[in-house]
Amino acid sequence: MISRLKGTLLANEIEVLEIETAGGVVYEVEVPLTVLSHLPRLGSRVELRTVQVVREDSLTLYGFVDGTEREMFKRLLTATGVGPRLALSMLSTMSARRLARALVDRDWALLTQISGVGRKKAEKLVLELAEKVADLAGAGEDGSPVPAAGQEAVRALVALGLQALEADEAVREVLAGEPGMPADQVIRRVLAHRAG
């Protein structure tokens, strides 16, 4: 089992990287889009945490920047109907911590923004994964889940036409300054900020 890969970054084809190890072996590694912002320039040294998935007709390496992403990928694969492609798509859409929070908080609006995940699939994922990923949701960029007022504000902003991820980030930004703000004030503040 290959759990970590260190080497020189030879190619970056959006979601597929080529990494050459010190022994001269070149590995093809599939990665979520979130990894791309953490990559060095071509020809530089890189280290990824990896998950090796063996299928009847293939052997594929999936790479991640940190252990949290890798652990989330592994837990996603335990859910019914989630294969490596969908798990990678989920982690390409949002960070592992944000995804864990969305599952734990039953944030349907955020989960259904993932390509390939509709309302029924989101409900199934929450049922199967919420408890399994709760430890990954606890610590994040700001260290806490969005409170109920924040979730209500995100839903309202999505109904007004914002993308779920954009609404989530804007609400978190407002609540970081004033954590106890009611949903209606959060919505007004976000809309005022967007208006200029």
For residue 180, the model assigns a pLDDT of 81
Same domain, 83 and 96: yes
> Does pLDDT of 55 surpass 50?
yes
pLDDT 10s digits, 56-101: 999 999 999 999 999 999 999 999 999 999 999 999 988 898 899 8
Q: What is the CATH number of the domain that holds 91?
A: 1.10.150.20
Question: Domain of 178?
Answer: 148-195
- Confidence at 147, pLDDT banded by 50, 70, 90: low
> Does pLDDT of 143 surpass 50?
no
Same domain, 127 and 174: no
Q: Which long-range contacts (CB under 8 A, 24 or more apart) does 109-118 make?
A: 109/154, 109/155, 109/158, 109/164, 109/167, 110/154, 110/164, 110/165, 110/168, 112/164, 113/163, 113/164, 113/165, 114/89, 114/90, 115/89, 116/86, 116/89, 117/86, 117/90
Same domain, 90 and 76: yes
Q: State the Cα–Cα distance between residues 174 and 181, nearest whole angstrom.
A: 9
> Does pLDDT of 155 surpass 80?
no
Taking alpha carbons only, the member of 64, 61, 65, 125 closest to residue 99 is: 125
pLDDT 10s digits, 157-182: 878 887 766 777 788 788 888 878 89
pLDDT 10s digits, 96-131: 988 998 998 888 888 998 989 999 999 999 999 998
Q: Which of 17-26, 117-126, 128-137, 140-149 has the lowest mean pLDDT?
A: 140-149
Q: What is the CATH number of the domain that holds 58?
A: 2.40.50.140
Q: What is the mean pLDDT of residues 33-55?
A: 92
Q: What is the mean pLDDT of residues 46-50?
A: 96
Q: Please give the tally of structural domains in the chain.
A: 3
